[in-house]
């Protein structure tokens, strides 16, 4: 097993989770998945992230994307932490959390030795075919922006559905708003046609309504 890269199949892992044993990504085939690691249970930044992931779960559900957490804590620690979050913060964590190992975390790119012995805040967005489409990394001291992860899933789905690209900060881009970008022409005839067919800054930068 080697660290998964963009465009590659996520390697098969057999793990224990708070929802029971899982063979991933096979058990989630047909769904988008946001697999994210956190440094440790019962830590303040991770707790804020889990509450935020749960509060955004409806948005992920609407996108057909499942959430799965991961750290190298044992499963009984995950269970107790979920209970604590419910008791103290009145938030039900409804997604599974994987009880990983140091070896597994390192092999799939969640453990960076220069940042300590806990997993970093890695995010893998995996498509319904089990292919890694986005990888995000954050250090232990910085909590993630969950809205950006939702945005990334939406953008990937838009790109797949319509064969387009999305601009910076989409759907609130400073130049073209919520419009999408047409892939650049790859031959001279198509380049000549672009300006007549779409709104363009130049033939290589054309856009259209989403």
State how far the alpha carbon of 91 is from the alpha carbons of 34, 38, 44, 154, in Å.
20, 18, 15, 25
Residues 200 and 102 in one domain: no
Contacts of 60 (CB under 8 A, 6+ apart): 34, 66, 67, 150, 153
Residues 113 and 185 in one domain: no
Residues 93 and 131 in one domain: yes
User: Residue 84: inside a domain, yes or no?
Assistant: yes
User: Residue 27: inside a domain, yes or no?
Assistant: yes
Residues 126 and 48 in one domain: yes
Backbone angles phi, psi at 205, to 5 degrees: -135, 80
Residues 88 and 185 in one domain: no
- Please give the torsion angle defined by the CA atoms of residues 164, 61, 95 and 17, in that order, rounded to the nearest 10 degrees: -60
Q: Is 200 a known active-site residue?
A: no
Q: Report pLDDT for 113.
A: 79
CATH code of the domain covering residue 181: 3.30.1020.10
State how far the alpha carbon of 13 is from the alpha carbons of 72, 108, 111, 135, in Å.
14, 10, 16, 18
Beta-bridged to residue 173, according to DSSP, are 177
Residues 109 and 28 in one domain: yes
Domain count, the chain: 2
Residues 171 and 206 in one domain: yes
Residues 94 and 130 in one domain: yes
Of 34, 26, 92, give the one whose Cα is nearest residue 63: 34
User: Residue 158: inside a domain, yes or no?
Assistant: no
**Options 46, 188, 200, 206, the catalytic residue:** 46
DSSP 110: -
Residue 159: which region, alpha, beta or left (left: phi > 0; alpha: psi -120 to 50)? alpha
Q: Tell me if 167 sits within 8 A of 143, measured CB to CB.
A: no
Residues 94 and 171 in one domain: no
Residues 172 and 104 in one domain: no
Which residue segment(s) compose the domain that 129 sits in? 13-146
CATH code of the domain covering residue 64: 3.40.30.10
Residues 137 and 176 in one domain: no
Enumerate residue ranges in the chain where pLDDT < 50. none
SS3 163: coil
Residue recorded with tokens 């224990």 = 16
């Amino acid at each position: 097993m080697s660290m998964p890269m963009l465009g590659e199949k996520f390697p098969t892992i057999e793990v224990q989770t708070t929802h029971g044993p899982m063979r991933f990504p096979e058990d989630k085939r047909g769904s988008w998945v946001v697999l994210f690691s956190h440094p440790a249970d019962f830590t303040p930044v991770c707790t804020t992230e889990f509450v935020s992931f749960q509060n955004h779960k409806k948005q992920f559900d609407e996108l057909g994307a499942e959430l799965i957490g991961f750290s190298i804590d044992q499963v009984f620690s995950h269970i107790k932490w979920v209970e604590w979050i419910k008791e103290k913060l009145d938030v039900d964590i409804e997604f599974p959390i994987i009880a990983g190992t140091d070896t597994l975390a390192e092999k799939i790119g969640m453990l960076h030795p220069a940042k300590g012995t806990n997993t970093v805040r890695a995010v893998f967005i995996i498509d319904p075919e089990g292919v890694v489409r986005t990888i995000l990394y954050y250090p232990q001291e910085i909590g993630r922006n969950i809205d950006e992860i939702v945005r990334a899933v939406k953008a990937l789905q838009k790109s797949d559905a319509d064969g387009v690209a999305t601009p910076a900060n989409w759907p609130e881009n400073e130049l073209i708003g919520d419009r999408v970008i047409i892939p650049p022409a790859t031959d001279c005839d198509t380049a000549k046609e672009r300006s007549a067919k779409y709104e363009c800054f130049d033939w290589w930068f054309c856009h259209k309504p989403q």
